[in-house]
């Protein structure tokens, strides 16, 4: 079809050889990761998985990542707002990079990818990540304060109340 939109590899001039190199490397690393794994023991463990709990955990994770992508999109309101798919893609790649590389490099990676994909300033995209992380920290600190309030206001048995009080006092004194 002459008016068909070329695929992403064709648009970038990437030939099939790069796809095959990626597949070969993936299979090689998969072999290295699984070479000492007892597959019978793994299959036995997988048969014991509680599927409703596993499904709930997977759904919870998917909803959380989608919500984070929506939240990240909202931080781009001063400029061109990226699509949900693009934000989700960059966020997912960033999560994967964080799993394999140190120093939260996934956050830098997702900012770079978003900057490239949206023809946006990479510094601006990194700034949105920084705002997101500071906001996360502030809400975490608020939650910790709420938990301390709940712990001190609850009617705890004697030893437990003393332990909570000692912990909170030490926290207040910086010990």
Secondary structure in 3-state letters for 25-75: HHHHHHHHHHCCCCHHHHHHHHHCCCHHHHHHHHHHHHHHHHHHHHHHHHC
Token digits for 39?
């597959």
pLDDT of residue 68: 94
pTM: 0.65
Q: How far apart are CA 115 and CA 126, in angstroms?
A: 9
Separation CA 163–CA 118 (nearest Å): 53
Look up residue 93 and give its two tokens: 């790649």
**What pLDDT was estimated at residue 120?**
79
Alpha helix ranges (H) inside the chain? 8-11, 16-34, 39-47, 51-74, 84-100, 105-117, 122-153, 158-173
Q: Give, for all 175 residues of the chain, the pLDDT tens digit.
A: 444 444 555 545 556 777 888 889 999 999 999 899 998 999 999 999 999 999 999 999 999 999 999 999 999 887 788 999 999 999 999 999 999 888 889 999 999 999 888 887 899 999 999 999 999 888 888 877 777 766 666 655 555 555 555 565 555 555 4
Each residue's pLDDT tens digit, 141-171: 887 777 776 666 665 555 555 555 556 555 5
C-alpha to C-alpha distance for 93 and 72, rounded to whole angstroms: 14
- State residue 54's pLDDT score: 93
Q: How far apart are CA 82 and CA 59, in angstroms?
A: 24
**Residue 112's pLDDT is what?**
93
């Amino acid at each position: 079809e002459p008016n068909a939109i070329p695929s992403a590899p064709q648009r970038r001039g990437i030939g099939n050889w790069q796809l095959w190199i990626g597949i070969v490397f993936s299979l090689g690393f998969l072999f290295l990761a699984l070479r000492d794994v007892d597959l019978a023991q793994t299959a036995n463990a997988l048969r014991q998985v509680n599927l409703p709990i596993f499904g709930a955990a997977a759904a919870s994770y998917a909803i959380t990542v989608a919500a984070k992508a929506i939240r990240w999109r909202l931080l781009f309101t001063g400029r061109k707002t990226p699509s949900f798919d693009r934000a989700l893609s960059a966020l997912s790649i960033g999560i994967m990079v964080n799993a394999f590389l140190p120093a939260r490099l996934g956050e830098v990676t997702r900012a770079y990818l978003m900057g490239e994909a949206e023809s946006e300033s990479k510094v601006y995209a990194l700034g949105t990540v920084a705002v997101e992380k500071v906001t996360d920290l502030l809400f975490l600190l608020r939650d910790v304060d709420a938990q301390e309030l709940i712990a001190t206001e609850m009617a705890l048995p004697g030893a437990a109340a003393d332990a909570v009080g000692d912990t909170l006092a030490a926290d207040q004194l910086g010990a």
